Amino acid sequence: MTEHYLEDFAVGQTFASGRLRVDAERIKDFAAEFDPQPFHLDEQAAQDTVFGGLAASGWHTATLTMRLLVESDFRPADGILGAGFDEFRWPRPVRPGDELHLESEILAVRPSKSRPAQGLVKVRTTTFNQNREPVQILVANLFVPRRPA
């Protein structure tokens, strides 16, 4: 697949992803390793929490988003390298059986002042569930190389 340099990106471009289904076992395994809180670990314990049932860790949503993004057509030449985030939130939880997909849109493209061989691309990635409800909104600034002369 073609890799993209700074000059290939333009404001308004969009990128879609494949789909990824999350089941209860994986939600609990992820939580046991990285976010061992009752509402991510056990259906029964989750009933009496603010989630009212088992919910994926927000960090699980974030890492599944990264997986979908890496496998999408969004392909900066040196890889997906985050310089920082302008926005990052989880408007609703991911539930067992949810199927996620992404829509990414380029919001800004600019050369770097300090590094002439590089630029920055600002991209908003929205992660949707199968009902087209957003479960994560992430606005990231990424380092992207300029096309070699």
State the residues that interact with a copy of itself by CB under 8 A. Answer: 33-39, 49-50, 57-59, 62-64, 66-67, 70-71, 78-85, 87-90, 143
16 vs 34 by CB, closer to a copy of itself: 34
Convert 35-48 to b/e letters by CB count within 10 Å (16 or more is b): beeebbbeeeebee
CA distance 108 to 52: 39
Residue 23 C-beta: closest distance to a copy of itself, Å: 14
Residue 70 C-beta: closest distance to a copy of itself, Å: 6
Residue 57 C-beta: closest distance to a copy of itself, Å: 7
109 vs 144 by CB, closer to a copy of itself: 144
11 vs 117 by CB, closer to a copy of itself: 117
Overall residue count recorded for the chain in this entry: 149
10 vs 88 by CB, closer to a copy of itself: 88
At 137, list the tokens. Answer: 């909104």
Residue 66 C-beta: closest distance to a copy of itself, Å: 5
Supply the DSSP string of 104-144, one letter for each residue: EEEEEEEE-SS-TTEEEEEEEEEEE-TTS-EEEEEEEEEEE
